[in-house]
Structure 1
Amino acid sequence: MESSVLAFATDLLDEGADTFFGNLTDRAGVGGVTLASVYHEARDVFPHNPRRVIRYLEPGAAYFRPDPARWAGRRLAPVPSTAIGDRDPFAEAAAETRRRGLKLHAWTVFCHNDRLGFAHPDCSPANAFGDRHLTELCPANPEVRAYAHGLVEELARYGVDAIRAESLHFHGLRHGYHHERYFEELGPVTEALLGICFCPHCRAAADNAGVDADDVHRAVRDELRARIADEECALAPAALDGLADGAVAAYLDAATLTVTSLAAELADAAAGHGMRLTFMDGGGPGRGWLSGIDLPALAKAVPQIETLGYARSPEDVREKVAAFALHGVRPEQMAVVLRPMASDCDGPANLAAKIATLHELGVPEVEFYNYGLMRLSSMDRIGAALAQLSHP
């Protein structure tokens, strides 16, 4: 079973290669590292970082050195983090992993990008009132799709083994933003409808799929006006497929075609460079429809699906994998992320049992979240658990 730890490039820069990779190999005993190449804004606590305990990650920053020629004339282009200075953490990681015989994966956040969304609002999703969701990029937008292809081409320069594609889809209303506020109860239907994109590109995609986008737009806007204005109406249940005679559901189906086609294009491009593209689905089966995630279609479009196995027991992890199998994703096509911290694990035996469950089910790859955010004792827990799997 392959194994790796997700990490930030700033972990490598702050600790130095010997300490960083030493912890991965000597303490955690993993065979690779999944390093963030493009990441979203965050504020985190780093228990073992020698330089800082709290760090702010910049919105939508890149942690590699983009090739200027590749992005000439484009509005959407990766912007290097100020934290890397004149260094190239991906070049350093590529050299070190080759020297140490480790796998290097590029953890890449595609469509959740505050920096590019605020700079280019027309590339962000638009709700039924035309308000742009500026923390996101719309996967139906041609410039966004070209940007995604450009990222794959850039990462190929470093010889990474796999691209972990996070946020390669739409997001709902509550994806998280600083001081995000909802003082009136909106209700789940209102929130769902506010997350649907009606930008010109999404409407064109729906029209091409035989859906009357204008009709859906009017129906959703009218429904939202009623629900936002009245609390009783806001909390009333309603099936999305009941609006506009089921056309809203068909509109959302068109959005899944947008996501699946982009994932397929990027998977083909990655394969052309000897890389594997992994589609990261953090929500799980049954939760991705509003995000454009069609698991059975994606299972045919990309070589691997990754999910979060955050759970307290091995039985819960087993159920998560089984749920994907019911949606056309075979265990051997999956990677699963586990958390070795106390929030999920009470010790090495618990983590080892989860890993053994994944191995028994035929899942070929396990990852651990997150290098800089865990104590070194959690790194030791990974090492003990993997050793137990190797020598039961």
Structure 2
Amino acid sequence: MRASAFLYPWDVVGDPDAPARIAGLGVQQVTLASAYHSTRALTPRHPRHRIVTAEHAAVLYPPDAGRWAGHELRPYPAGDWAPGDAHGQAAAALADAGLDVHTWVILAHSSRLGAERPDTSVVNAYGDRYPWAPCIARPAVAAYLAELAAEAAVRPGARGTELESCGWYGLAHLHAHDKIAGVGLGEAAQYLMSLCFCPVCRQGYEGLGADPDELVAAVRRALEPGWATGSAEAGRPAVEKLLGADLAAVTFDWRGGTARALQEAAVAAVRAEAAPGFQVLLHADPVPYHTGANAGVDPAHILGVADGVVLPCSGGAAEAMLAPFAPHRTGSSVLAANFNVVGGMGGSPATLAEDAARAAELGATELRLYHAGLASDTDLTAVAAALSRLG
């Protein structure tokens, strides 16, 4: 199986040994971040640093001022964590080591955008804004994300791209000093807390026959018992039970249609920019109403739009992730099983060979390894051994 390792440019720039080290794992490809959210990352082997703090969501190359001149929203350039064309430098070094380079593009996830332009954010049923979550129903946001997809995906030398967060973001979000786990919320409650009630979304619900004020009230009523006791309900039937089937259907229809429109627009924008044969994959979840980095998709729809998907398969999730796509695959569809190989972050590099073999039985055609720059030497040794066993 073809395998690709995720990397940041700062894992490579300034470390002349990094390209050969990555190639030595037995991967054929690197998925290299070109547009990324804020993060604090370990670099355990870099000769110049151990911690890189990316202070805000940014593009990791110089954005084209002319391209963005007519846009209301524009990407932020990186600071000293990725100066100049950090992505281009890293990509060239990796290519010289014989590795294919695909871009890794984070779309609907930017806390700086939400802080500076709060009108772009998701607004929950209580009026709270989620600055990390741009509302993809807003025309300016949708236009920005499609343009960002095109520019950040089609970098010099790249042979493909992987679009992450290409859909709704919601309540779930890794955040500094997070303190929201005091009341446990099940999947259904998480969905209700992720619904957006900005002016555009309110109009969207109304256009589908629902009074947005009544929907707000219904969401609050549905959530109220959980604030006292927590909740564990999961699945679409649980959402329908909490909201009522008619109101639940309105939210699924509005959000699903909005997500599909963004996904179509982003893929089309990339293809319009790229040469023929440029591969476009989406980080995805087969449950259409799920939110987050692995955005919910309709499997039948997305395999007719993109070249394939990257699916989070760690922790025994491979069957739940891969099986819904099997009936909709074509001979060229890519189903990439993504495994966490960082032991310190809950990954299991020691079982990678067995996990990958099981994923292949379930229809996976490629592997993704998260994350070669963050992993320890012990983790990388286990990865190399697993890939050698897989041939």
TM range (shorter): 0.7 to 0.9
TM-score by length of 1: 0.84
For 1:110, which of 104, 107, 111 is the aligned residue?
107
Task: Report the equivalent of 1:205.
Answer: 204
Secondary structure, counterpart of 2:382 in structure 1: helix
Amino acid at match of 2:174: G
Amino acid at match of 1:307: L
Deviation at 1:118?
0.7
2-side partners of 1:380 and 1:184: how far apart?
A: 38
Task: Report the equivalent of 2:43.
Answer: 46
Q: Is the 8 A contact 1:62 1:80 kept in 2?
A: yes
Q: Call closer, same or farther: CA 1:205–1:158 in 2, change over 3 Å.
A: farther
The superposition leaves residues 322-343 of structure 1 with CA deviations (integer Å, 9 ceiling, x where unpaired) of 4334685679531111233444
2-side partners of 1:290 and 1:340: how far apart?
A: 23
1-side partners of 2:57 and 2:79: how far apart?
A: 12
* Aligned: 1:298 with 2:297: no
Amino acid at match of 2:253: D
Task: Report the equivalent of 1:249.
Answer: 249
Amino acid at match of 1:161: R
Task: Report the equivalent of 2:159.
Answer: 161
Task: Report the equivalent of 2:10.
Answer: 10
Deviation at 1:300?
2.7
Q: Call closer, same or farther: CA 1:293–1:286 in 2, change over 3 Å.
A: closer
Q: Is the 8 A contact 2:111 2:131 kept in 1?
A: yes
Q: Call closer, same or farther: CA 1:3–1:248 in 2, change over 3 Å.
A: same
2-side partners of 1:388 and 1:105: how far apart?
A: 25
Amino acid at match of 1:32: Q
Q: Name the one with the larger helix percent.
A: 1
1-side partners of 2:212 and 2:228: how far apart?
A: 28
Q: Call closer, same or farther: CA 1:377–1:252 in 2, change over 3 Å.
A: same
Q: Call closer, same or farther: CA 1:217–1:164 in 2, change over 3 Å.
A: same
Deviation at 1:111?
0.9
Residue ranges of structure 2 left out of the alignment (5+ in a row): none
Amino acid at match of 2:100: K
Q: Is the 8 A contact 2:146 2:269 kept in 1?
A: yes
Deviation at 1:65?
0.9
Task: Report the equivalent of 1:195.
Answer: 194
Q: Which has the larger displacement, 82-91 or 317-326? A: 317-326
Secondary structure, counterpart of 2:30 in structure 1: strand
Counterparts of 1:1-392 in structure 2 under 5 Å? Answer: 1-15=1-15, 18-25=16-23, 27-84=24-81, 86-155=83-152, 156-182=154-180, 185=183, 187-188=185-186, 190-224=189-223, 226-227=224-225, 231=228, 235=231, 239-242=238-241, 243=243, 246-272=246-272, 273-274=274-275, 275-281=278-284, 284-286=285-287, 288-289=289-290, 293-296=296-299, 297-311=301-315, 316=316, 319-325=319-325, 328=328, 332-342=333-343, 343-345=346-348, 347=350, 350-390=351-391
The superposition leaves residues 334-360 of structure 1 with CA deviations (integer Å, 9 ceiling, x where unpaired) of 11112334444363xx32233334445
Q: Is the 8 A contact 1:49 1:372 kept in 2?
A: no
2-side partners of 1:326 and 1:244: how far apart?
A: 31
Q: Which has the larger displacement, 82-91 or 111-120? A: 82-91
Q: Is the 8 A contact 1:266 1:277 kept in 2?
A: no
The superposition leaves residues 108-129 of structure 1 with CA deviations (integer Å, 9 ceiling, x where unpaired) of 1111111111111111111123
State the identity as a percent. 28
Deviation at 1:205?
3.1
2-side partners of 1:42 and 1:150: how far apart?
A: 23
Deviation at 1:182?
3.5
1-side partners of 2:387 and 2:185: how far apart?
A: 44
Q: Which has the larger displacement, 66-75 or 252-261? A: 66-75
2-side partners of 1:86 and 1:24: how far apart?
A: 22
TM-score by length of 2: 0.84
Secondary structure, counterpart of 1:204 in structure 2: helix
Q: Which has the larger displacement, 41-50 or 256-265? A: 41-50
Residue ranges of structure 1 left out of the alignment (5+ in a row): none
